[in-house]
């Protein structure tokens, strides 16, 4: 039986959300309100593109020749806000022999997320801040669910690419980064730490939605700061990828 859900957009030639060339499906809905979010239009579930898992996978398969060596990534928003929809898409894709990845902040309680995490091949987990108070200030929610998600991935041997946004004046701080690196080195499930330099490319969306962009004026990290951040994690024996900020234009569905 096909499961109904809401989709924001798709990216049919994604190279930034998991290994290889990927079909990236952005789902609607997110409980976080990150100050640096570049897709605030994904927060709400209302008035968006309603579809079903069978139709989604049919479209995915039309790009099979391009993504065979890559796969499919569910992103958002927060894809775990629609766990049944996400799970059915992942199961259908795996049934077709496609690699699957889940891009999540881990903000959804583990009891709602376990089935999806169990099924997916790779979890791209975004820790906003290891400091619970700072995490709340940055996102409107603490980090307990995220850390529980990482611990669960460790317990079941699920492959994780750990993501962390470097925001000047917030998370781009040597002491905070050292604390995070020390914490992460204890997890054997983490294959890669992906550092994401802050950018304001989504600020215009905040303005269109008449939202207050509180990081206005914050400059993007410089080369020296990025080198420092990378060195902190590498010193703890972690494999690091400094991600680029460019993203191909998303395609609206419907």
Start-to-end CA span in the chain (Å): 22
34 alpha-carbon distance from chain centroid: 12
Q: What is the pLDDT of residues 173-193, one digit of tens each?
A: 999 999 999 999 999 999 999
Number of domains forming the structure of the chain = 1
The DSSP call for residue 16 is S
Residues 253, 14 contacting (CB under 8 angstroms): no
Q: Are 23 and 12 spatial neighbours (Cβ–Cβ below 8 Å)?
A: yes
Question: Which CATH number goes with the domain that contains 114?
Answer: 3.20.20.70
**φ, ψ for residue 22, nearest 5 deg:** -135, 150
The mean pLDDT of 33-42, rounded to a whole number, is: 94
- The residue range of the domain holding 183 is 4-252
Using the 8-state DSSP alphabet, how is residue 107 labeled? -
Supply 172's token pair. 């781009």
The model carries a pTM of 0.93
pLDDT greater than 60 at residue 247: no
Instruction: Provide the pairing of β-strand 190-197 with 4-14.
Output: unpaired
Phi-psi bin for 108: left (phi > 0), alpha (psi -120 to 50), beta? beta
Q: Are 215 and 35 in contact (CB under 8 A)?
A: yes
Please give the angle made by the CA atoms of 240, 20 and 151, to the nearest 5 degrees: 50
pLDDT at 14 > cutoff 60: yes
Residue 248: band (very low, low, confident or very high) from pLDDT cuts 50, 70, 90: very low
Radius of gyration of the chain (CA): 17
Q: Say which range, 95-99, 131-135, 203-207, has the weakest mean pLDDT.
A: 203-207
- Read off the pLDDT band of 46 (50, 70, 90): confident
220 HSE (CA, 13 A, CB side) = 9
Q: What is the pLDDT of residues 63-91, one digit of tens each?
A: 999 999 999 999 999 999 999 999 999 99
Residue 47 has pLDDT above 90, yes or no: no
Pairing verdict, β 49-52 and 4-14:
antiparallel
């Amino acid at each position: 039986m096909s499961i109904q859900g809401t989709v924001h957009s798709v990216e049919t030639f994604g190279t930034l959300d998991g290994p290889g060339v990927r079909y990236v499906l952005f789902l609607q809905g997110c409980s976080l309100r990150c100050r640096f979010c570049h897709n605030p239009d994904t927060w709400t579930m209302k008035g968006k593109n309603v579809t079903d898992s069978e139709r989604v996978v049919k479209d995915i398969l039309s790009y099979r020749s391009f993504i065979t060596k890559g796969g499919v990534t569910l992103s958002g928003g927060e894809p775990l806000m629609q766990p049944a929809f996400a799970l059915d898409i992942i199961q259908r894709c795996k049934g077709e022999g496609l690699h699957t990845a889940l891009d999540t902040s881990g903000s959804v309680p583990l009891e709602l997320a376990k089935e999806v995490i169990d099924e997916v091949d790779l979890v791209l987990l975004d820790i906003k801040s290891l400091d619970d108070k700072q995490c709340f200030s940055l996102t409107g929610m603490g980090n307990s669910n995220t850390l529980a998600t990482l611990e669960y991935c460790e317990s079941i041997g699920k492959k994780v690419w750990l993501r962390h946004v470097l925001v000047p004046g917030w998370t781009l701080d040597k002491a905070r980064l050292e604390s995070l690196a020390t914490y992460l080195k204890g997890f054997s499930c983490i294959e890669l730490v992906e550092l994401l330099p802050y950018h304001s490319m989504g600020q215009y969306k905040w303005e269109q939605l008449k939202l207050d962009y509180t990081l206005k004026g914050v400059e993007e990290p410089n080369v020296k700061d990025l080198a420092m951040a990378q060195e902190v994690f590498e010193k703890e024996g972690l494999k690091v990828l400094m991600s680029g900020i460019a993203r191909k234009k998303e395609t609206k569905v419907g």
